[in-house]
Amino acid sequence: MAREFTSVGVVGLGTMGAGIVEVFARNGIDVVAVEISEAALERGRANLTGSTDRAVAKGKLAEADRDALLGRVTFAVGLDALHSVDLAIEAVPEHLDLKQRIFAELDRVCKPEAILATNTSSLSVTEISVATARPNQVIGIHFFNPAPVMKLVEIVRTVVTSADVVADVEALCARLGKVDVTINDRAGFIANALLFGYLNHAVGMFEARYASREDIDAAMKLGCGLPMGPLALMDLIGLDTAYEILDTMYRRGGRDRRHAPVPLLKQMVTAGLLGRKSGRGFYTYERPGSPRVVPDEQTPAAAESAQADGARAIAKIGVVGSGTMATGIIEVFAKTGYEVVSVTRGAEKSATVCEAVKTSLNKGVVRGKLSEADRDAALGRINWSATLEHLADVDLVIEAVVEELSVKKALFASLDEICKPGVVLATTTSSLPVIEVAMATQRPADVVGLHFFNPAPIMPLVEIVKTIRTSAETTATARAVCAALGKTGVVCGDRSGFIVNALLFPYLNDAVRMLEASYSTTDDIDHAMKLGCGYPMGPFELLDVVGLDVSLAIQRELYLELREPGFAPAPLLEHLVTAGYLGRKAGRGFRDHTSR
């Protein structure tokens, strides 16, 4: 039977420590909250009362419950106050020597049967445990910030942690209403090991001026449904904290270059640009600690205004293709008020596309998102054709044909002959080099990538891919068109994966590698990323939806172009695809979908 925890000690009352105190006290457990000095103790007390007062103001905590919660907390200076607790958990800064000193002192102070826990997010629990004479009673209990809200707890066992200690802590997490994942002591555990490789990659993308900070963040929020963009999240975490986590993971995790901190990160930390807590990081904030972003010298508002002034007038659109993407793009433009020429191969395909657009628009009417008059007006703006010659007088052509370079190049060579001068020629490719398509024409300055996300009528993001030959006027026109459609256009260079796929798929590949190493299960890894990081889907859920074969193809392209060893497709992914495990569409992937 699991032991009963009646009193818990918490060492360190910063944001995380105070949150952990609140979690225990909310659930009827007496807490001894300890700091190093009276001043630090008062700051910790203010952190706790501020959090509980906000909960009361939001109606999430009754005043009586708040008072009872605070009544369970005893504040003290010094570790001697923890002599009778059943569990002591430290939540001090991520410095190994500091944690080892604290654990050596806890070992001296706490009763022999007490469990000693660390909230470390990246350091070795094993190295911390050897500072005590009871390493079998030392465990990692990694809460996520803010601790009262986030459901996930990573329970980290070392090679000598007692099985009874693990079971007792798992039972305690259940009592706290948390979802736990129990894992071995490895650099970054689950969530940080997957999260920080992605964050570091985003910083590298910004450092290389591949895309603006706003566009990188918007791409991942709108393209993947993430709660925050990677650079805004780095500011929230703290750039100094992020640097320490990455550096620790790099040194402890096999010196994977994906975890080697990008030089810009070290420079910003040295310059005191630590994120929200210092008032400035990748963004500038109203004041230190404020979440409100204010304009600064990097804000692209003036540049965007100038670009808008240089945009070409677009009234008539040509869309080439008959698939789902082409159908969605036709619908989006027609509903917005543009005249559209739809070109397909033959009358039969044209009729199929026409029927698909009508069906989608009718669904909009049924759902109350579109009036019958608006539907009819949109259909009236579409002209159906089976020949490219009908694109002679359009202002913008968007290609949405099969992802084969030879097919696209041949199409663009034909468009170059047919379309009038000044027409913007756009490809919807998600993986092919836009420059190769552009160079099939005599007007590469007029060629741009417009990567819509599926389904185009719903997804708010478009990646605007400029090549080294794309003119500023063409890019500005693409931005203006996206804005007119009510879409967010993010501008990036012509590189494999653009923004979203280049950041998303290496993260998914890292998750497969983690599973391949038998470090954790598909369910626990998915839980960690959904509950610990707020992701809408876990990596294996997402891989099954996207298709393992699609993921493998994208990962291969990224690896071939960037030659980053960490981007090499995980062998497990290759083996599953070879065996026909392709995800939902095949009925089986990382999970069995045959009964769903």
Q: Is the pLDDT of residue 122 over 90?
A: no
* Residue 278 annotated to the active site: no
What pLDDT is attached to residue 302?
46
Cα 470 from Cα 495, distance rounded (Å): 14
Q: Is the pLDDT of residue 269 over 80?
A: yes
What pLDDT is attached to residue 596?
56
**Do the domains spanning 7-184 and 501-586 agree at the CATH topology level?**
no
What pLDDT is attached to residue 308?
55
Q: What angle do CA 270, 273, 13 make, to 5 degrees?
A: 95
Beta carbons of 383 and 339 less than 8 angstroms apart: yes
What pLDDT is attached to residue 306?
46
Q: Taking all residues of the chain, what is their mean pLDDT, rounded to a whole number?
A: 93
Q: Of these residues, 142, 259, 451, 527, which one is catalytic?
A: 142
* Residue 192 annotated to the active site: yes
Q: Which residues contact 526 (CB under 8 A, 6 or more apart)?
A: 537, 538, 539, 540, 541
* Residue 7 annotated to the active site: no
What pLDDT is attached to residue 155?
97
Q: How confident is the model at residue 310 (pLDDT cuts 50, 70, 90)?
A: confident
What pLDDT is attached to residue 3?
85
Q: Of these residues, 154, 214, 399, 463, which one is catalytic?
A: 154
Q: Which numeric CATH code is attached to 191-291?
A: 1.10.1040.10
- What pLDDT digit, counting tens, does each position of 555-571 carry? 999 999 888 888 899 99
Size of the chain in residues? 596
- Of the listed ranges 252-266, 270-284, 419-433, the one predicted with least confidence: 252-266
What pLDDT is attached to residue 562?
83
What pLDDT is attached to residue 386?
86
Burial (CB < 10 A; 0-12, 13-18, 19+), residue 531, is buried
The mean pLDDT of 333-345, rounded to a whole number, is: 95
What pLDDT is attached to residue 305?
47
Q: Of these residues, 51, 129, 192, 278, which one is catalytic?
A: 192
Q: How confident is the model at residue 503 (pLDDT cuts 50, 70, 90)?
A: very high
CATH architecture, range 501-586: Orthogonal Bundle (1.10)
The mean pLDDT of 483-495, rounded to a whole number, is: 95
Q: Which CATH number fits domain 306-493: 3.40.50.720, 3.30.70.20, 3.40.50.300, 3.40.50.150?
A: 3.40.50.720
CATH topology of domain 7-184: Rossmann fold (3.40.50)
- What pLDDT digit, counting tens, does each position of 177-216 carry? 999 999 999 988 999 999 999 999 999 999 999 999 999 9
Q: Is the pLDDT of residue 421 over 60?
A: yes
Q: Of these residues, 7, 119, 121, 212, which one is catalytic?
A: 121
* Residue 154 annotated to the active site: yes
Q: Is the pLDDT of residue 303 over 70?
A: no
Spatial CA neighbour of 312 closest among 177, 465, 426: 426
Beta carbons of 106 and 83 less than 8 angstroms apart: no
Q: Domain residue spans in the chain?
A: 7-184, 191-291, 306-493, 501-586
Cα 397 from Cα 410, distance rounded (Å): 15
What pLDDT is attached to residue 592?
85
% of the chain surpassing 70 pLDDT: 98
